[in-house]
Every structure is written in structure tokens, then in C-alpha cells.
Structure 1
Amino acid sequence: MFSQNARLCTPSQMFASFQQPRCERDQWLSQCATFPTAPQQPSENVLLTGANGFLGVHLIQQLQKMQPETTIYCLVHAKTPEEAQSKLYLACQDRGISLNKQRTVVLNSDLEVARFGLCPERWRQLAAVVDTIYHCGARANPLHSYTTLRNANVISTLELLSLCQLGRAKRFFYISSLFAAAQQSNHLYEKSVAESPLIMNGYVQSKWVCERLIEEAFSRGLRGSIYRMGAMTGSTRYGTFNAGNHTLNLIKGCLQLGVAPAWGFRQLDLSPVDLLANLLIHSSINNLHPEQCVNLGYLASIGWRSLFEFLVSRGHRVDLINPRIWARNHVASVNQDNALYPFKPFYCEPDEPPHLVIERQYVKQRDINLNILSLLDTYYRYWSAKDFMTFYAPDPIPH
């Protein structure tokens, strides 16, 4: 079993840990951790965390499609079974997903407590029947510290790794972030885990720690893969979006202001969530990337300027201005009425985010061809239906 402090492997590592940030001290499994190796075969019983989340419901959709005989145990953050069921059913309904209730077991849970709040009997039952775990659940606020996110993101992963040591041999598939990948200059690499977190962001740090823990578990017999997600945009069919999406709220905030930074090179990741889920489930059930990291981002992209040209063509009034003026005169003054407000600290400096070159062999092999304008039309219809982007600059704004 694992200690919640992720005990270090050797005394030298323990001594060194006092000189390291907390996230770096958490990256080691206990010395006694070994795992039964699961055979490669179709899943009979899947455990899915974060089942009612934006990606979670689309993973359910793809699992039902590709492995219709599989029973999915869905962990939903809720206080009661009734609340958990209601949350999952409403999330599926809102995103146009049909749920096979005969093959779904909904469990109320809490990632931040031991065994997710499940009773010992239910935990033993899951250990005995589950053969595959998809760990999708997490707290994802990029402004929170590593310490704040540690229980929900890191300790929950240790709990699931402990479950993998009990009962039936299990495969483990973990959903991480592109920004936890190894990076050199503006290149993000695939397959391997970074030696240290490259972004001092609590959420990214927590994802990096989990990648390190899982990498070591793979070396001790566990089977599975790590999937790194970039931006997750709407579904190709309905355009359904996660209202908390960072990029979407950046765009909306600029429309509310009537001005946007005239970034010249920024490419926005337009990866439809249903296609990401399809790639992930296809890879996992076919064992395409055993004990490897896979970068799942930029299935399609659009230039920053091109996006605003599209919005202007739909009637929005927005001017592209000098990024320094945008940051100093506009971002600095936004309040809670502006969609950009929760992400304000990221944009108080005017520097344009660097253009990233992302290694993603699997994405390229699948040769996904998306019509960007058609995709944007689908998204825009959804935004309009939800009154999400109905803001116009009232008058020309002095710069």
C-alpha cells in the first residue's frame, strides 16, 4: 500500500527531499509497491473517475460504442447516490449523450478523502471486479497552489494505484496535461516523463507528480498509458462546450472589452472533445501505447487573428490592439463582470505565448482532417443558443 506522503525510495532521496519543493518530494512510490500485471483483453468492468465531467461523459460515450458489453463504474463528486445519478444523467443530457443505464453503476464519491469516501466493502468489491481504470477526475483550477490541489489530484492517484494492488489485475489509464510534458525550448515531447515540472503552476505540478508516480508503477508491473490533453473544445456534432474553458473565456472577455491583443503567431488549439475521447479509448482498448505517454492536442488549430476575423464576420465589434496597451489599459481594469476575470493574472503581462511545437505521433498517424470553418460554425451556433457570446462594444474605444 501507499503512504499519503508518497514515501521516498532511498535515504539519499529522503535527504535530498528537504531541499526540494513539495511536488518534487511527492514523486516517489514506496519501496514495497509492486503490481500484478493485467493481461491484454477486452474490459469487463471499468472504473471511471470524473465521470460527469466534460471529458468524462465523452469517455463513457466512446466506451459504450467500442465495448458495449463493458460495465462502467462511474465516480461522481456528490454527497448522496441520488445526487450522483442526477449529476451524471444531466451532464449526459446536456451534451447530447445517451447513457446505457443497464451498464452503468453510479457511485457518489469525493476524490479528496480516503477511498474517495466509499465504504470498505464497496472498495473491496471494486478491487475484485474492476479490470481497467480511467483516472479523469481532478481539480483543475490553474490559479490554485500545488498544496491546495494535492489531495484531489495526487493523493487520489495514489489511492487508485493502491487499488491496482488489490484483487483483480488492472490496467491504468491516466489523463494528464500537455504542459506536464518534457520541454526543450518551445518543443513538447511525447512518450517519456519530464525530469522536473517546467511550469510553476499548481495544477501542472500535480499532473507531473502523478506522471512520475505512474511511470514508476509501470516499471513495477502495472500496465496502462498516460494521455496528455491540451485544450478541449466543443463536440463536433453539437458544439457543446465546457463553460469554464480558459480559451473560450479569454475570447469572450475580449469581446466584452471590445479589444483584443494583436498577437501575431498564437495558434489556438481546437481539439473537439469527442474526437479526443475517441482517440484515447481507441488507443487504450487496442493497447497501442503500452506504458507510454501520448500527447493528444492540436487536432486542429486556428490563428488568433483568424478567429477574430471569423467573429467580426458574425457581427461582433472588436479591435486588435497593441498587446501592451491591452494588458495595461484593459486587462488591468477587468472585474467580475468580465469572463476574463478568473484568468486575469495570466494576462497582466503583454508577452505573447510562444508558438509550441508538439510531438504527437499518434495524432498524426490518425490523419484527422477537420474543416475549421465548419467546426467554428458548429461552435458558434452553440455559443449563440446558450447566449454565451452576445457582447458587442457599444462605441469605438479609444486606445
Structure 2
Amino acid sequence: MAGNPWRRYGRATDDFFALGGHSLSATRLMARVREESGRSMPLKDFFVAPTVRSMAAYLDAAGSELSADAAEIELNLPPRPVDLEAESAIALPTPLPPSGGMMQNVLLTGVTGFVGAYLLEQMLERWPGATVHCLVRADSAEDGLRRIRANLEEYGLWWDGYAPRIKVVVGDLAKPNLGLSGEVRDYLASEIDLIMHNGSHLNHVLRYGQLAAANVGSTKALLELAAYNRLKRFAYVSTGGVFNTEIGGRRKVDEDTDLSGEGFTDIEGYNATKWVAEAAVRKAGRMGLPIQIFRLGRVAVDSRSGAGRADDFIALYLRTCIQIGAYPDYPLVEKAVPVDYAARAIIALAGQPGGGEVFHLMGDEAFDWSKLLARTWPAASA
């Protein structure tokens, strides 16, 4: 099926969206399933359980009492406040171990994503003596390296000379201890000098409880790893979404704004998990761990090549307008930062001594995408 990433991987437990699927391809997939099987799976339920195995179980139960499954019930529950203090609790050893050495070994997560590709490329370019250990969900180290290479090739970043300096660590952010064996964890604890946690399960449909393992649990596991055996620097890639837009109307926020009162509910799943994970990182910083937090806004295409994600909101918006030959007569104003600039800034700042800093990489100028479309089709507004 065109646009179906399962065709490339074919495992019953593969996550459709983690393999490159997006909302439009999911809609086409659900239509094709309905056409072929005569049974339907609501799109909102597919977002909750986007695997072949889960979809098959749902379709098998269609028409029975089981069709109103736990995932659908979870989506329809009323919002519940997220307890920031309890959810961000973390235990680190006292006293902390001595600091490690120079930046020779780095552990990077999220390397098969858009921003992660540019972070890896910048690490390899700017830190020529560093080996980058990449945590990747894969069947093997060879499979993981193939995924990393394919991702960098997609954005025109790959160079064959990178391969010897990339070490694949097979793991899973959503599993306890990142899915690592004790032996692998001990090895990383003794070798790694810097942990950069960029990975997450990015989904704006699922609730907090459905994302917490991958987004909050992984952060805590990596913070514990940073304080195990020898002290490591910890850089956390966060989001401007940790500021709750539902409270206080228009307000000015900066790197020093206290986040404790943002008051997210579990229905604000992804942003709530990043809010809690940041709180855990800050707690670790107060305990003595050298931490940095980088908050990203809308990340735009590469300013040099124009390479970007085909499933990004702006890309999908523009593509849809082009396909129908019209655009909404309504402003779409976004501040954005080019992905290459964001990656260069993060790596430059992460390479400096210090700790405890928070950096905003949001973009300085707001751009109204509807004005671009108005210049393209002066009389095509809808």
C-alpha cells in the first residue's frame, strides 16, 4: 500500500508512526482496511495502538462487546490533573560519584528522528575525537545502523566516514532501564561522558499515562545512568510546549520562568510528559548533576538545502493547500527555527563547561504562512 511504512519492515509489533507513518497515511490505511475487510477501526483508536497486532485484535473484536476496548475508554475519560511533584520524583545516589573525563563518548537518543539526525551530524563534525553511542530500537546493531544511515541520507547528511564513530546501542525508551541488560548498562556507565536525551514518543492524541513510560520513564532512567559509576553531563532536549497555553492568556515567559504552576492535565499528554521530565531533570540538577535544558519551538526545514519532514504540520498544511488549489482565509502565524541552526546551537552549547542552564531556541520572527499562500493564489482563499 502506497505510503504504508509497514511494507518496509513488516513486523506485527512495529509502530506505524515510529516508522514514518503520519495522520494522512493513517487515514488512507484505515480506508483501505475498511474496503478490504468490511470492518472499521476509528482513527482515534488506531492512534492509541498503531501496530498490526493491535489492529488485528481490534478488527477481530469488531461487532462484539470487546470492540469498546480499554484504549477507547481511556480516550474518553475526563481530564485528570498531573501531579508534578509525584511524577517527577527521582532518586540519585548520595554523594554523587566523581566526574568523568573529557567528551570522548556520548550517548544520544532520538537519532532516527528529524532533529536527531542533525544532532548526530553536528556531533560527528564538531567533536572529531568523539564516539557517539546511539540508542536505537532495532533487531540488532546492524539493523540500527541501517536505520541511522537511512535517516541521515534522507536529509543529505550521511558520509561513509561517520560509520566507524557510531556505536549502536539496541534499546527501547518505553521499557524499564531502556531495555538494556545489566552488562550493557554497566559498560555505558563506565564509558559515557555526556548523555543527550533527544528521543521521545511524539503524539498529540495519546494521554499522559500512555506516553509516560517512553517520555518520563526514559528520562529518569538516563538521569540515573548519568549518576551511576561516574558523573556524566546531561543535556535534555525539551519543547516550548512546557508552557501551558491554557492558563493566563498572553504572558511573557523566559528561561527562568517557574514551571511548577503550569498545571497540565493528562489529556495534554505529550506536553505534560515533557513538563514532568523537565522537572525531573531540574531536580537532578539541584542534587548536583551537571544538566542543560534546550527548549525547541517549531523546527523548520534545513536553511541550506530545504530538507525537512514530509509529515510536519506546516508541510502537510502547504501540501494540502497546493493539492486543492485553495487556502483558508485565516492567519497561520508561527515562529520557527531552522533545524540546522538549532542543532549547531545545541552542540556548541553542550560542548561548553558549566551546568544548570536553560536555553530557548524558538525563532525570533513570526511568519504568517497564509500570506505566502496569498501571494501564490491571490484569489484562491476559502
| TM norm. shorter chain > 0.5 | yes
Change (3 A) 1:262 1:242: same
Pick aligned residue for 1:45 from 105, 127, 146: 105
* Pairing 1:24–2:90 present: no
- Read off the aligned partner of 2:338 and give its amino acid letter: P
* Pairing 1:107–2:169 present: yes
Aligned to 2:65: none
State the alpha-carbon separation in 1 of the partners of residues 129 and 379 from structure 2: 50
Contact 1:24 1:196 in 2 (8 A): no
Q: CA RMSD in A?
A: 2.6
* Pairing 1:206–2:273 present: yes
- Residues 7-49 of structure 1: CA deviation (Å, up to 9, x unaligned): xxxxxxxxxxxxx734535443246654737759741110001
* Pairing 1:255–2:350 present: no
Alignment of 1:262-277 (within 5 A): 262-264=329-331, 266-277=332-343
- Read off the aligned partner of 1:136 and give its amino acid letter: N
Aligned to 1:303: 368
Aligned to 2:289: 222
Alignment of 1:167-182 (within 5 A): 167-181=229-243
Change (3 A) 1:67 1:31: closer
Alignment of 1:279-318 (within 5 A): 279-287=345-353, 290-312=355-377
**What is the aligned-residue identity percentage?**
27
State the alpha-carbon separation in 1 of the partners of residues 95 and 157 from structure 2: 35
Contact 1:35 1:222 in 2 (8 A): no
* Pairing 1:128–2:195 present: no
Aligned to 2:261: 196
State the alpha-carbon separation in 2 of the partners of residues 40 and 283 from structure 1: 19
Q: C-alpha displacement at 1:114, in angstroms?
A: 1.8
State the alpha-carbon separation in 1 of the partners of residues 328 and 358 from structure 2: 34
* Pairing 1:163–2:225 present: yes
Pick aligned residue for 1:232 from 294, 299, 302: 299
* Pairing 1:149–2:208 present: no
- Read off the aligned partner of 2:203 and give its amino acid letter: N
Alignment of 1:280-359 (within 5 A): 280-287=346-353, 290-312=355-377, 319-321=380-382
Q: C-alpha displacement at 1:92, in angstroms?
A: 1.1
Contact 2:195 2:233 in 1 (8 A): yes
State the alpha-carbon separation in 2 of the partners of residues 188 and 149 from structure 1: 26
Contact 1:260 1:318 in 2 (8 A): no
Q: C-alpha displacement at 1:302, in angstroms?
A: 1.8
Change (3 A) 1:66 1:192: farther
State the alpha-carbon separation in 2 of the partners of residues 79 and 130 from structure 1: 23
TM-score norm. by structure 1 comes to: 0.68
State the alpha-carbon separation in 1 of the partners of residues 101 and 306 from structure 2: 34
State the alpha-carbon separation in 1 of the partners of residues 104 and 361 from structure 2: 26
Aligned to 2:157: 97
Change (3 A) 1:21 1:242: same
TM-score norm. by structure 2 comes to: 0.71
Change (3 A) 1:85 1:40: closer
Change (3 A) 1:259 1:134: same
